Amino acid sequence: MNLPEQSSTHSARLAVELVRLRRDYVVRSPVAGSRRRRRQVVRAVDDVTLRIDRGETVGFVGANGAGKSTTIKMMTGILQPTSGAVRVLGRDPVPERRHLAREIGVVFGQRSQLWWDLPLRDSYRILGAMHRLTDRAREQRLERLAAGLDLGGFLDRPVRQLSLGQRMRGEVAAALLHSPELVVLDEPTIGLDMVSKEGLRRFLREDRAERGTTLFLTTHDMGDVERLCNRIVVVNSGTVAYDGALDSFRERLGAPRELVVDLEEPLDVLTLPTAAHTLAVEAGGIRHRIAFSGAELTVPTLLTAIGSQAAVRDLSLSEPAIEDLVRQIYSRGGRL
Amino acid sequence: MVRTLYGSRIRSQATFRTSFLADLLGQLLVVSTEFLELWVILTQVSTLGGMTLTQVAVVYGLGALAFGIGDILFGEIDGLSTQIKSGKLETLLIRPVPVLLQISSLDLSLRRIGRIVVGLAMYVTALVLAGFQPTAATLLLAVLAPLAGALLFGALFTVAGALQFWLVDGREFANAFTYGGNYVATTPGAVFALPLRAFFTFVIPATLIAYAPTLTLLELPGPALIPAWAGWLGLPAAIVAWLLAGLLWRAGIRRYTGAGG
Ligand SMILES: Nc1ncnc2c1ncn2[C@@H]1O[C@H](COP(=O)(O)OP(=O)(O)OP(=O)(O)O)[C@@H](O)[C@H]1O
Ligand SMILES: [Mg+2]
């Protein structure tokens, strides 16, 4: 990555620096038979230390309630940490929240930041004004986003009429409109079908390749991490359980994708590329279960290899559930 | 940017024309009914707080006009608890624009224009009927008073909204606050007993919105605690109120980032 030297200090070159970050929520729950409420402290983030260089792409995964969204809220200045330090793009997020907002783009998959009653295009006009983009700069950027995210068909429709997938693409465009240096996505592919997911991932890769942004995303979909990230961080109960390159993560945990093909004619052995191997042959040679590494081998390449040996009647593909991988890590106590 | 924000709200309202008209008529009805109540009282007692019907109409019209403008610009702020509960506030916090400005432009309800229209008509008509003798100074006050009043109401809305950072179910409370303020503002201040009058002049300066300026404009003697020149206090009071409201709002945001909803 060709990044200009920002500053002499190391921490200014980091996109994100979290040191011993902790966050408690105080919850007051009613007690049966009493008018007083019980005060309870929920520790959402316990001890997270994480340094992300500019230009890195990090997948931040973990079970429900592990503390991912809370961490993101502390990174974006929405929440003050209970203890520990946060620096994002060299800034302290809470006091410098509005400055930081100019430099980062955030998508909360569960919430919309678009204007519900307005045509989608108008949301970008408003956001452009908020980010002080000139009309020309905004239109140029929007053109690029509309082409990459395929928004053209519904730019003039009110947001409330959009399907979930269309709206989510609109949300991503809203977060990227001001060309942020750091892109933070909290479950950007939630509720999307495979085609929409792939489209979104493809554009995020393109945009990153063009602008060299830093990407930080949480997801429950291993496919997102596989396609978008080169580093994976697993959180468990508010602490970092694993932090490392995606490649080694995948290697240690074995090839996580599985392809099942049914052949027209029985065949005992299929010769496969090195990144794939046969798990099982069933139904007298008709059904083959093949495990392969999604990073080293694409499905079309694999199918071409199989197709040259036998005719394929039917096939199915299973994405590895990120929960399974995370569970493996949890069960090993965080060590691989 | 401010223009884009508010402008887009107007556009989104224009897309619902029929409901807009219905709302507008509803508003006209509400305002007229409120004034009718005052009128009924006046037929019984002939003067209210030492004021005749036309003079009361000036107070009422000015109060309604100020409230109308304040409501259309800042009326959404007292719905803050809804924004907090739905998580909408989080999406406002990740933008480089003050949250207060974003919320106030969030739902610029044009139907609220009804109150402004009625208020303005009543204010101007009643002023003329009450024998308003404009000088350069009083003409200036006549124009300034609704704007200062709107600012005061805006500050009141902001305080009511900011309190919801602490009282998450605070919408009812906030409504009592703001609509109560509106009631006081549109009523001649002399009808209130002295302690109440002091409260609504110095603590929540609602009498300074319409009653005090009316006294000054029509050169009427004021009751105890509200001298005739108090009509000029609207703007300074609005500035003080906004300073306080701004501080409270900032404290509220800080409380939110500390507690997280
Ligand atoms: N506003 C809040 N008040 C109290 N507790 C909260 C609040 N927000 C989150 N929590 C708790 O903090 C913990 C972490 O929540 P968080 O939303 O960060 O998890 P997450 O990793 O994003 O989970 P998910 O995958 O379900 O989105 C959970 O136990 C949750 O119940
Ligand atoms: Mg979450």
In the sheet that holds A257-263, the strands lie side by side as A276-282, A287-292, A257-263, A312-318
Q: Which pLDDT score, from 0 to 100, does residue A194 have?
A: 84
State both tokens at B222: 């004021």
pLDDT tens for A202-255 read 999 999 999 999 999 999 887 888 889 999 999 988 999 889 888 777 666 654
pLDDT of residue A2 exceeding 50: no
Could you tell me if A119 and A136 lie in one domain?
yes
In the sheet that holds A104-108, the strands lie side by side as A83-88, A14-30, A37-53, A239-245, A231-236, A57-62, A214-218, A182-186, A104-108
Could you tell me if A93 and A40 lie in one domain?
yes
Q: Is residue A327 part of a domain?
A: no
Q: Which residues contact A270 (CB under 8 A, 6 or more apart)?
A: A278, A288, A290, A306, A309, A310
Could you tell me if A231 and A302 lie in one domain?
no
Residue type, B178: T
Mutation target for B interface from A28, A107, A111: give the one with most B CBs within 10 A. A111
Rounded CA Rg of chain B: 19
Residue that has been written with the tokens 């009511």 in this structure: B160
Could you tell me if A23 and A64 lie in one domain?
yes
pLDDT tens for B47-62 read 677 778 888 888 888 9
Q: Is residue A34 part of a domain?
A: yes
Of B12, B96, B259, the CB nearest to A131: B96
Mean pLDDT for chain B? Answer: 81
Residues on chain A touching B107 (C-beta within 8 angstroms): none
Most confident of the following: A179-183, A295-299, B49-53: A179-183
Q: Which pLDDT score, from 0 to 100, does residue A5 have?
A: 45
Residues on chain A touching B15 (C-beta within 8 angstroms): 117, 158
pLDDT of residue B230 exceeding 90: no
Q: Is residue A1 part of a domain?
A: no
Q: Which of A33-37, A237-241, B185-189 has the lowest mean pLDDT?
A: A33-37
State both tokens at A33: 């038979």
Flag if A98 and B4 touch (Cβ within 8 Å). Answer: no
Which residue, A249, A276, A292, sits at the end of a domain?
A249
Spatial separation of the C-alpha atoms in residues B120 and B122, rounded to whole Å = 5
CATH number of A279's domain? 3.30.70
Asked if B171 has any chain A CB less than 8 Å from its own CB, the reply is no
Residues on chain B touching A110 (C-beta within 8 angstroms): 87
Could you tell me if A288 and A223 lie in one domain?
no
Q: Quick one: angle between helices A194-211 and A135-149, nearest 10?
A: 140
Q: Is residue A188 part of a domain?
A: yes
CATH number of A115's domain? 3.40.50.300
* Protein residue closest via CA to atom 16 of ligand 1: A67
State both tokens at A102: 């100019």
Instruction: Give chain A's domain count.
Output: 2
Specify the higher pLDDT residue, B12 or B79.
Answer: B79
Q: What are the C-alpha distances in Å from A269 to residues A254, A255, A277, A310, B234?
A: 22, 20, 11, 10, 90
Specify the higher pLDDT residue, A96 or B105.
Answer: A96
Its pTM stands at: 0.79
Which residue, A249, A270, A305, sits at the end of a domain?
A249
Q: Is residue A36 part of a domain?
A: yes
Could you tell me if A167 and A302 lie in one domain?
no
Range of A280's domain? 256-319
Among A63, A54, A51, smallest CA distance to A219 is for: A63
Could you tell me if A164 and A187 lie in one domain?
yes
Spatial separation of the C-alpha atoms in residues A145 and A151, rounded to whole Å = 8
Could you tell me if A243 and A94 lie in one domain?
yes
Q: Which pLDDT score, from 0 to 100, does residue B46 have?
A: 64
Could you tell me if A111 and A232 lie in one domain?
yes
* Protein residue closest via CA to atom 30 of ligand 1: A65
Question: Which ligand is closest in space to the CA of residue A48?
Answer: 1
Which residues does ligand 1 sit against, CB inside 6 Å? Answer: A 25, 27, 42, 44, 62, 64-70; B 260-261
Could you tell me if A17 and A137 lie in one domain?
yes
Over residues A151-161, the mean pLDDT reads 92
Which residue, A249, A266, A285, sits at the end of a domain?
A249
Could you tell me if A186 and A48 lie in one domain?
yes
Residue type, A131: H
Question: Which ligand is closest in space to the CA of residue A220?
Answer: 1
For residue A108, what is the nearest residue in chain B, using CA coordinates? B91
* Ligand 1 probe mutation, A22, A23, A25, most atoms within 8 A of CB: A25
Q: Is residue A332 part of a domain?
A: no
Mean pLDDT for chain A? Answer: 86
Q: Is residue A105 part of a domain?
A: yes
Q: Is residue A139 part of a domain?
A: yes
Residues on chain B touching A25 (C-beta within 8 angstroms): 259-260
What ipTM was predicted for this assembly? 0.76
Could you tell me if A58 and A186 lie in one domain?
yes
